[in-house]
Structure 1
Amino acid sequence: MNDAANSYAGSLNRVRPHKKEDGLAYAEELIAGFHNEGVTHSELAQRFNLGERPKKFSFELVLTDETVKFHFGLPDRIHQREFRQQVSGLYPNAEIKPVDKPFPEIEPGMYLSGGKLELNKEKYRPLRGTSGPDAFESDPLRSVLSELVGYSNEVAIVQFVFTPASRNWTDGLKLHEWSADQINDSLTYGRVNGSYFNPRLDDPSAKDLRAAEAVLNQEGKQAYYLNARFLVFASSPDIAKHHAHGIANVYSTQYHSDETGQAFIPLAFKKRGVKELARRTAAREFSYDQTALNVEELAGVVHLPGEEVDQTNIDWTRKGVGNRPPAQANRTAMPPDMRVNRDLSELGGEASAMASLS
């Protein structure tokens, strides 16, 4: 795994949130900053310069030494600088440091358990998010972090690797995939009931109609393709499995939307499969698995905790900004547009030229 971790070409940032800042309130602005409208996932379009190759980003909850840390992975120095400016504008009391090791140190003899999270239903049905149908009224990280902490002599990682989807993502990325329009039609068509010899078509339920409307509303929204993974290293196989099951359960329950029926479904890996999963986690790899989230959905998953989260085993910052105490630090009213205000002075000529084109 060390080789896989060292192969990661991006930069890892440890972000230490402040207890008095609301991580959920500004999460959508932070997530929207990772998007690029000009990307394409078509290799043919990329070959003929009809769109940009999408970059990949990562967000990780890492439990080591009984403390949960928050890591963001950025693909290059340009995005690294933009991210630091964005976080400084949205969360002026947060602290950003480089990550010391690309993967936590695992003691010999530890047992591994883990899996991945995918969507239970069609990708156009929204999960619970920061806004939209069935939006969160409180921070879901409170429950997630309660499940992560409380285990001694363990290492746990929850990782989200995401990449911007193109403008027409609701048309389906692969030829065999249904579009949002087709999913909407299937939900409004009604339900076939009765027997094989005497079928009948019943009207769609109120829940089906609400889900159909939510699916149709996805068109035109920014979105990201996502890989979600979780790993637990523990001193016994039973403890590792129990903790991994708890992590899977808290994500499947917290993000379930009563309005659309969408939820995360955990898929457990065993033996060789979980070792390969650990390698992909260490390398921050991305592979398309039909999981797509819009900005408000991803913001519900990828954000920093704040004052609603009262756990002590969190990597909170204890520093203010400059000479001012944290409570007096000001948040910018509008974060800078990173696609325009780019400082390229420390980049080489080729990198500067490429940046100016994006």
Structure 2
Amino acid sequence: MNPALMSHQTNYEYVPFRENTRYQNQTPFKKLKVDQYLRILDGNGLQWPMIEHISEFFQSLVRRNLSIGSLVQYFHALNRFFLFFKSLGVSRLEFVDRGHLGAFIEYLQDDNLMASSINGYLRSLYAIFGFLAEKDVISSDIMKNKFKLKMPDLLPKAIDPDDIKLFLSVINTARERALILVLLRTGMRIGELLGTKIIDINFREKKIEIPQAYKNYEGRIVYMGDDACSALKVWLKERLPGKEYIFPGSGNREKLSYPMARLLFIKYMQKAGLSHKGYTLHCLRHTYASELLNAGMRLECLQVLLGHQNIEMTRRYARLTDNTRKNEYFKAMEIIERGEIDGHYRFDN
């Protein structure tokens, strides 16, 4: 066995980065996953002492209490890159350079990966290479002029108000109605809602506590409208007692799975005759944000409710729903159409 793997079995001091005890019991499992990743990399030909440095990198992720999903992303990015790297005839990662990374991007593009997926690989690889460069294991030149694929600047897709009314009108079971209305009125990501427990709900204040968000690992509070509260109360009276998650799964599953939630959404979209419009489950979150902005909510307030770390993410909805801009346009257009524009357009020579 690789010496680095043997040394990895010693006891390291894992310091939890976040204090939420609800998630800290995952640390032993994370250690086992790291051991598994190192063995796979060892089997693929990653050599000592590089594997020892990679071990140290993953240990740092566990100390920071990154989610298991994040560990998986880093591993898949590194493993896929290393297998490609070996196919170029280079077996030692110490010799990686910017040209290898550029070739890897072209390889992923040839494999028809979306730009967003390729950028995800790049973010993970740059984090790993940055760690290695700081230790002088690889050349720091690879961190200069970082590659990043240009992304299309797409607007979020919200569900039309008439379509929302039609969609809600065909949902006739307590569980599905509660699921859809809570998503629509809180703006929660589906992963956040499926991970929500009974103890996280405060009906008196009409709010739900998200201890650690599904995507950015930050906690926040979201609020529910009256219709969502009512639907949720009806569902909680009907569901089987003794379950800690709001939406328990079938059989031995603790909670409803994302694929099942997605199928339920598709089922009712079909029932409402809206399948052709391309709406997805995440469009409920976009609709939530768009409706609040249309109702006059400040951008900074919406940012906190959505859990966006960067307000530019929230500002996309302002481009979609800015009634002020719309009103200013038609006010100006009335003047133009009445022929009340003064002056001429010409250049002075």
Q: Which range, TM-score by smaller chain?
A: under 0.3
Higher CA-based Rg: 2
Structure having greater relative contact order (Cα 8 Å, sep ≥ 6): 1
TM-score normalised by structure 1 residue count: 0.20
Q: Whose strand fraction is larger, Structure 1's or Structure 2's?
A: 1
Q: Whose helix fraction is larger, Structure 1's or Structure 2's?
A: 2
